[in-house]
Amino acid sequence: MIQGKIEGDAEVAVRSFGKIEEAATGQLSFLANPKYEEYLYTTGASIVIINEAQELKQKVNATLIRVADAYSAFAALLSKYQEILGEQLTGIQEPVYISKTAKIGDKVFIGAFAYLGEQVVIGNNVKIYPQVFIGNGVVIRDNSVLLPGVKIYQDCIVGKNVTIHGGTVIGSDGFGFAPQADGSFKKVPQMGNVVIEDNVEIGANATIDRATIGSTIIRAGAKLDNLIQVAHNVEVGTNTVIAAQAGVSGSTKIGNNVMIGGQAGIVGHIQIADGSKINAQSGVSKSIKIPNSAVTGSPAFDYTSALRSQAVSRNLPELEKRIKELESLVKQLLAEKV
């Protein structure tokens, strides 16, 4: 499964996972970060996955599996283990509400107190945990997982192999209000939907608003952390990652392979080029047009320039002192010249 090379007892068995510094007999662990190397020689783990290039400085009691990338290999095993556990979870618990017009695939799990509305389509191997709400016309494709308390409003589409964590709301109304002459605001109906493509993961308590017209789109492979706000008509590109508490305003288009740090804020109706990196707590107020740019600050600007500015600002007291000394010296020279 992980294309590894075994060093040690090839018959050893494990039944669970553990951190290398805490693992016990019968557990599998891994070493990817060099700062934890000391634990390789003291760990109680029965098997440790290590990088091919790892050099041993002492005797290791555990069986080793050498791979190209220990972190990725360990993640692959965790995913397989989770998949095995998921395969054991099938059937429909009671009580639930499932509309007579809903279509349910094979090997589906539907937890207690779930609600499936009219014309819902559920693919094969989908896991719907307790207290999930699925509105009318929603489509959930194969192998997707909706964890407890997820809410998906009408007509939204969820692709294959998507995981949505507890408390997240997909398809709530976008924030659209038209100002009136008397100072009040009139709600603009939000008639679109949300489309989540394949292999997306969305953290807990995130909100993705439906489009006013058309679709809010989360492209394939995107990963969204907990507590993220994605507004109406936003597009999030393929394999883009967004960290917790970030917010994206309406109609902004985010490119592919973009990295957005925690608590970053992005205004509406702009474009973020492919490969952009937006530092945590940055405020992006205009389009990033050059691919692979890195920005920081509020308003956000070039990352390298921002670091230089920060370095200068830290030295301002010393610079002020030197300027005053120079001014004093100039006055003395002028006085002597007179």
> How far is 324 from 318, CA to CA, in rounded Å?
10
> How far is 30 from 2, CA to CA, in rounded Å?
13
Task: Decide if 192 is inside a domain.
Answer: yes
| Overall residue count recorded for the chain in this entry | 338
Flag whether pLDDT at 43 surpasses 90. Answer: yes
**Catalytic residue IDs:** 232
pLDDT of residue 188: 96
Query: How would residue 83 be classed by pLDDT, with cut points 50, 70 and 90?
Result: confident
- Do 230 and 264 fall into the same domain? yes
Query: How would residue 309 be classed by pLDDT, with cut points 50, 70 and 90?
Result: confident
What is the extent of the structural domain holding 277? 150-299
Task: Decide if 331 is inside a domain.
Answer: yes
- Do 280 and 326 fall into the same domain? no
| Per-residue model confidence as pLDDT tens digits over 102-157 | 999 999 999 999 999 999 999 999 999 999 999 999 999 999 999 999 999 999 99
pLDDT of residue 171: 98
pTM of the predicted protein model: 0.83
> How far is 116 from 138, CA to CA, in rounded Å?
9
Task: List Cα–Cα distances, 220 to 171, 202, 235, 240, 278, in angstroms.
Answer: 18, 12, 11, 9, 20
Strands 185-187 and 177-179: antiparallel
pLDDT of residue 303: 80
Flag whether pLDDT at 306 surpasses 80. Answer: no
Token readout for 173 is: 């109304």
Task: Decide if 216 is inside a domain.
Answer: yes
Q: How many domains does the chain have?
A: 3
> How far is 78 from 145, CA to CA, in rounded Å?
16
**Once rounded to an integer, what is the mean pLDDT over residues 27-40?**
96
How crowded is residue 171: how many other Cβ atoms within 10 Å of its Cβ? 25
